[in-house]
C-alpha cells in the first residue's frame, strides 16, 4: 500500500511539473500560432524564414565576453535576441548590420527593452576600439567558429555572417532574416522591423 501511495504521489508531482511547463510555454506557442498559422489580414506573410528550433538547439560552447569572463546566450533568456556572427575584422557589411540592429531595436519604441543585440565574434583577434564605441549596447561575445558554423543554418554558398537571426525568450532559434536584409537598405530593414514588431505584439513573454 505504501509503495502504491508513493507511486501515485510521484505521478501527481510529474503532472504538476508538466502543467507548470505548459503554462509557461503557452503564451509563446500561442503567439507563434497566431503569427504563422492564422493568416494575417490582407494576405501578408512574414519576411524572415521561420526555423524549427528542434533542429537547431543552441549548443554548449566556451563563449566569453571581450574581457575573458564567461558568458553564454543563455544569459539573455527572457528577451528576444537579434543575433549576428562573424570575425572581429568588421568590414562595411558587418558595420551596416550592427548599425541596423541598433536602429531596429530603437524602432520598437516602448518595447525596445524586450530586445537585445548579440554579436558572436568567431575569432580571438583584437577588436577595433571605434567598433566597440559605436556599437555600445551590443553584447559582444567570442565563440568558437567551428561550433557556430555547425549550429546556424545557411543557404548553399552563403555564410552565417550574411544573416541576422532571432532567438525567442525561451532560448529557441526561431527565425533567420534574408541575406542583406539587416543592412543600410531601409526598405528591407522596414520589413524586418515589421516582423519583430508583430512578434512582440503577439507574445505575452519576453
pLDDT confidence of residue 44: 56
Give the other-Cβ count within 10 Å of 152's Cβ. Answer: 20
pLDDT confidence of residue 196: 95
pLDDT confidence of residue 101: 97
Could you give phi then psi for residue 86, rounded to 5 degrees?
A: 155, 170
Do residues 172 and 183 lie in contact, with contact meaning Cβ atoms separated by under 8 Å?
no
What stretches in the chain show pLDDT beneath 50?
A: 2-3, 20-25, 27, 30, 33-43
Rounded alpha-carbon distances, angstroms, from residue 141 to 31, 32, 69, 87 = 29, 29, 10, 11
pLDDT confidence of residue 61: 94
Q: What are the contacts of 188-192 at 24+ separation with CB within 8 A?
A: 189/100, 189/103, 189/104, 191/47, 192/47, 192/48, 192/100, 192/104, 192/164
pTM of whole model > 0.85?
A: no
Judge residue 171's burial from the number of C-beta atoms within 10 Å of its C-beta, 0-12 exposed, 13-18 middle, 19 or more buried: middle
pLDDT confidence of residue 37: 45
> What residues are paired with 85 via a beta bridge?
120
Do residues 86 and 114 lie in contact, with contact meaning Cβ atoms separated by under 8 Å?
no
Residue 186, SS3?
Answer: helix
Angle at 102 between CA 75 and CA 155, to 5 degrees: 80
Q: What are the contacts of 70-78 at 24+ separation with CB within 8 A?
A: 71/139, 71/141, 72/141, 73/118, 73/141, 73/167, 73/171, 74/171, 76/116, 76/118, 76/139, 76/167, 77/169, 77/170, 77/171, 78/169, 78/205, 78/206
Q: What are the contacts of 11-19 at 24+ separation with CB within 8 A?
A: none
Amino acid at each position: 500500500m505504501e509503495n502504491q501511495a508513493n507511486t501515485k504521489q510521484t505521478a501527481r508531482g510529474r503532472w504538476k511539473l508538466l502543467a507548470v511547463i505548459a503554462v509557461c510555454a503557452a503564451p509563446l506557442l500561442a503567439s507563434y500560432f497566431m503569427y504563422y498559422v492564422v493568416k494575417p489580414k490582407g494576405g501578408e506573410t512574414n519576411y524572415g524564414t521561420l526555423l524549427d528550433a528542434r533542429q537547431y538547439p543552441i549548443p554548449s560552447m566556451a563563449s566569453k565576453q571581450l574581457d575573458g569572463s564567461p558568458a553564454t546566450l543563455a544569459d539573455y533568456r527572457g528577451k528576444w535576441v537579434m543575433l549576428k556572427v562573424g570575425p572581429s575584422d568588421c568590414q562595411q557589411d558587418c558595420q551596416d548590420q550592427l548599425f541596423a540592429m541598433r536602429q531596429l531595436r530603437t524602432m520598437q519604441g516602448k518595447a525596445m527593452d524586450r530586445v537585445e543585440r548579440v554579436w558572436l565574434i568567431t575569432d580571438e583577434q583584437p577588436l577595433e576600439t571605434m567598433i566597440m564605441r559605436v556599437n555600445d549596447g551590443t553584447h559582444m561575445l567570442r565563440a568558437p567558429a567551428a561550433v557556430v558554423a555547425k549550429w546556424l543554418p545557411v543557404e548553399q554558398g552563403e555564410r552565417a555572417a550574411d544573416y541576422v537571426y532571432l532567438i525567442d525568450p525561451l532560448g529557441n532559434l526561431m527565425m533567420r532574416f534574408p541575406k542583406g536584409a539587416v543592412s543600410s537598405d531601409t526598405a528591407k530593414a522596414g520589413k524586418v522591423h515589421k516582423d519583430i514588431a508583430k512578434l512582440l505584439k503577439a507574445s505575452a513573454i519576453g
